[in-house]
């Protein structure tokens, strides 16, 4: 499972003109399921996201996690993170999990996130989404769980 995590001042997801998820300060995680992923892969990814020390402490050092600061978590499914662009100008998405597997993994990840963290918002799996964010820092981190 892959994720691109961004520390944000605020972020939101809109589908068909309606905001379906929004947070204030926290993390936006774009998440991609891959064919060999299982729910435990998603659980490990979520644990990493919740514990990443990317928020400033009193000394201004990145020493606090999302859990420490009780920030928001906005999860967005993003199969294009699996893009392979080595073979030309049209990306291949063969590295992404098939849609039904990806949906099951997404739902398990979202359920775990809502159980473990008090402020969780999400996009809509498979929808055409508009994601708005104010990247704080900027801080953007790629994560890969094998």
Residues labelled as active-site residues? 78-80
> CB–CB of 13/121 below 8 Å?
yes
Beta strands per DSSP E along the chain = 2-15, 18-23, 26-32, 55-56, 62-64, 72-77, 120-122, 129-144
CA torsion 42→96→74→113, rounded to 10°? -20
CB atoms within 10 A of CB 36: 9
């Amino acid at each position: 499972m892959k994720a691109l995590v961004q520390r944000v001042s605020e972020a939101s997801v809109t589908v068909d003109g309606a905001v379906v998820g929004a947070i204030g300060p926290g993390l936006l995680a774009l998440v991609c399921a891959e064919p060999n992923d299982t729910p435990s892969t998603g659980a490990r990814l979520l644990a990493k996201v919740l514990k990443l020390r990317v928020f400033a402490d009193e000394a201004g050092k990145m020493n606090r996690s999302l859990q420490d600061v009780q920030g928001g978590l906005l999860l967005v499914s993003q199969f294009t993170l699996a893009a392979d662009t080595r073979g030309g100008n049209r990306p291949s998405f063969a590295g992404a999990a098939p849609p039904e597997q990806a949906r099951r993994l997404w739902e398990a990840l979202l359920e775990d996130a809502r159980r473990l963290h008090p402020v969780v918002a999400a996009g809509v799996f498979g929808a055409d989404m508009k994601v708005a964010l104010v990247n704080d820092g900027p801080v953007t981190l790629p994560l890969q769980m094998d």
